[in-house]
Amino acid sequence: MRLSVLLPLPLGPLSYLAPEGCARAPAPGLRVAVPFRKGVRVGVVVGVEDAAEGDFALRHAIGYLDEEPFLDEAGIAFLGRAAAHYFTPAGQLLADLVPFLEPPLRHEVRLVDGAARPDLTGLTLWRDAAELDPALLDELREGGVLEERVREQKPTRKTLVPLREPTEKLTPKQQAALETLRALGEAESQTALAAAAGVGPGVVRALVEKGYAGWREVELELAPPAPAGPALEPLPVPEPPPRINGGRWAERLQLAAGLASEGETLVLFPERYVLERAYDRWPPPALPFHGGQSPELRRALWREKPPVVLGSYQALLMPRRWRRIVVMDEGSDSYKLASGSRAHAVHLAELRAELLGAELYYLSLTPAVEVVEKPGLLVRPPRTRVLPIDLRRERGWPLSGRAVELLAQVPEKGRQALVLVARRGYSGRLFCKSCDWQPICPNCDLPLRFHKPGRRGRLVCHQCGHSEPAPEVCPACGGEVFGYSGPGVQWVAEEIQRRLPELPVYQYSAERKDDLTPLQRGEPGAVVGTTALLRTPAPPELALILLPYAEGFLPASDFRAPERYHRLLWQLADLHPTRSPLIALQTFEPDHPAVEALIEGDVTGVPETELVLRRMLGYPPAVRMVVLEFSHRQEATARAAAMDAAEFLQKRLGDYLETAPFAPLLGPAPAPVPRIRGRYVFHLILRAPEPDLLRDWLSDLPPPKGARLRLDPDPVGFVGLLED
């Protein structure tokens, strides 16, 4: 038999002959160990055929690892469809979705009976393959004289057990320790047994030395922790529509639990923090499944069959026939995979549901533009109290007088404040006040960010980590006065401390995480941080949320920015489980639609308007978009590759260029971040209302000369615009 085997690598299926001398019939979905390059890899059988003539040249697979298939047929079909959609080999998607596929292996080899290799007499018995030279193994394999067996090495732990009856008279203490061990069955260490038996550690050591007790390896039982909080009451909706919006977080969880109450349901979460928070309140039985769990645990949970799985995208390929898939917070950017296939987990969930015939639901506070037109149900959104502070009129930067007044009330009332800033460090930008010079990262062509430890401070690139001392004088004009703009966490925290020395101020960002325990205990204070703050529990006495520069969250160059800004503002309104803290926004645009929607309690208006705009301007979901990224250390090489591709596509698109509703080919142009980690990047954007057209164009595209080409299908944003 010939097997098609998909390895978790950026490749399509590879052909192997079925394992030699293996009694079991091959079946799609089984994990199989195969020789690959100089080693052994584990893949999944995705096809089985009768061997054809000429197949004798193929290598044999080594052996299967599973009794039951690891992937089901629907999962295999899904991989193929998703790979085609993302212009990527199916193996890449397998690697992205099941990064824990390959377990540690116990791989043993010996020579087949009668093999005449006098130089290898030691190999007539089974030996661990790891002790042997891979090149030799390959040679023996080629020669057809190697017998191999392989199995998954399950995680084990060592445990102390009683071994045999004593053949001599033991001391009373030794006797007591042995009896305790017999009664317990096992002990995790000698010290633990000594403590349990009330004897000294030397007594137990003597038992082990005499061979009456000893170590045994037992399989480790893996299980996720039990939920920590009281379970929520599910809130079933009769004949639910595909989209449900509004409500507070706990209410949406109740609705999700209601949707899941018929069983066979996958509830998909964008981030581990949100998933774990949900699991702690979820009515059992349910299973969490996400990338924060160890690979061993994920492999152990893979075949569990609880009625509900709360999963990240890594649960999408579980061999289950889901009846329902519930997507939580479908608009979250975290659903986009940052590397590999760069697939979007919401789209993958849609495809998986389609192929399974499962019902699909979107459950979020504010709907994504992509789904806002679906029939929906609106639950009353959290009450909001909003105070826009118009920076065109108010004085004071980065804190207006109004903002300082509000912050001053916080400790007076024993309350707490959260100050949200788009940038970490001291400021977004440092510039020379006389000539406007600003420091640029030598690797990335991005402005360096000013950080202020010490007297002079340092300039740091938040993209590549390059760091240098801030200059004393302007290298361009010799000027000595610098200005700072776009306040970062450090600057705002310092300013609050300067204006309100009595107020305890904490900082929280990817680079500095203060201990927030005093706030969690309810002590008054303010925490200044990036959006990383939204992944911590809200302080219990939260009364004020201040954005010193709300536009920092609204980068102009991204068509998704208004939707994202709207979602963020609503996320703030839903931050505290019961309270409605005052949301104070320092802004140059106090009448931005997202701000007005927050004041009016409207969660769907902005996405609806955005959908109309995107249809007019030819942005997703009206079109499908793919960014082609050409990069090289030499700017000319990267640009030339992008130009060549553009020229080719011009010809290839031909008449379509004239008839297309929107210009289908944009660029080439330097990427929004034109140089990243020393590589120049040029972008070419393809878009069309018909996704199949994109596939046709791209399948014809010749590989670039010299430069590297990476595709970003369905881009969601540009790296480096927002920071945690």
Q: Is 471 in the site for Zn ion (CB under 5 A)?
A: no
Segment near Zn ion (CB under 5 A); pick from 162-170, 183-191, 363-371, 458-466: 458-466
In order of 148, 279, 299, 440, the CA distances from 429 in angstroms are: 62, 41, 46, 10
- Kindly indicate which of the ranges 172-180, 292-300, 359-367, 440-448 contains the residues binding Zn ion, using the contact rule CB under 5 A: 440-448
- The yes or no reply on residue 473 touching Zn ion (CB under 5 A) is no
The minimum distance between CB 453 and Zn ion, in angstroms, equals: 19
Buried b (16+ CB within 10 A) or exposed e, 658-693: eebeeebbbbbebbbbbbbbebbbbbbbbbbeeeeb
Cis? peptide before 367, omega within 30° of 0 = no
Determine the angle formed by the axes of helices 190-197 and 172-184, rounding to 10 degrees.
Answer: 110
Q: How far is the CB of 58 from Zn ion (least distance, A)?
A: 47
CB 237, min distance to Zn ion, A:
49
Residue 25, number of CB atoms within 10 A of its CB:
9
Is 22 marked as binding a ligand?
Answer: no
Nearer to Zn ion, 76 or 470 (CB): 470
Tell me: is residue 461 an annotated ligand-binding position. yes
Distance CA 384, CA 572 (A): 9
Residue 459 is a binding residue for Zn ion (CB under 5 A): no
* Interaction of residue 206 with Zn ion, rule CB under 5 A: no
Sole window of 76-84, 304-312, 457-465, 564-572 interacting with Zn ion (rule: CB under 5 A): 457-465
Nearest residue to 69 via CA among 13, 25, 107, 15? 25
With contacts defined by CB under 5 A, name the span among 205-213, 435-443, 541-549, 680-688 that binds Zn ion. Answer: 435-443
* Candidate residues 12, 47, 340, 479; the one interacting with Zn ion per rule CB under 5 A: 479
Cα separations in angstroms, 171 against 174, 175, 187, 204, 655? 5, 6, 20, 11, 97
Chosen residue from 132, 163, 464, 666 binding Zn ion by CB under 5 A: 464
Among 130, 136, 183, 477, binds Zn ion (CB under 5 A): 477
Nearer to Zn ion, 367 or 425 (CB): 425
* Residue 48 touching Zn ion (CB under 5 A): no
Residue 615 makes contact with Zn ion by CB under 5 A: no
Alpha helices in 399-479 (DSSP H): 401-412
Q: What is the x/- site pattern for Zn ion, positions 582-601, by CB under 5 A? A: --------------------
Q: How far is the CB of 474 from Zn ion (least distance, A)?
A: 3
The DSSP code for 124 is G
Min separation Cβ 616 and Zn ion, Å: 37
Sheet with 127-128: strands ordered across: 127-128, 105-111, 146-152
235/255 Cα distance (integer angstroms): 5
Give the pair of three-digit tokens for residue 200.
């000294």
Q: Which two tokens stand for residue 220?
A: 């480790």
Question: How many residues bind to Zn ion according to rule CB under 5 A?
Answer: 15
The distance of closest approach from Cβ of residue 556 to Zn ion in the complex, given in angstroms and rounded to an integer, is 22
Contact predicate 177/207, CB 8 Å: yes
- Comparing CA positions, the residue from 60, 133, 65, 147 lying closest to residue 103 is 65
Q: Give the interface segment with Zn ion, choosing from 54-62, 85-93, 369-377, 473-481 (CB under 5 A).
A: 473-481
Q: Is 432 annotated as a binding residue?
A: yes
Binding Zn ion (rule: CB under 5 A), the pick from 111, 300, 326, 474 is 474
The annotated binding site for Zn(2+) is made up of 432, 435, 441, 444, 461, 464, 474, 477
Residues near Zn ion (CB under 5 A) are 432, 434-435, 437, 441, 443-444, 461, 463-464, 466, 474, 476-477, 479
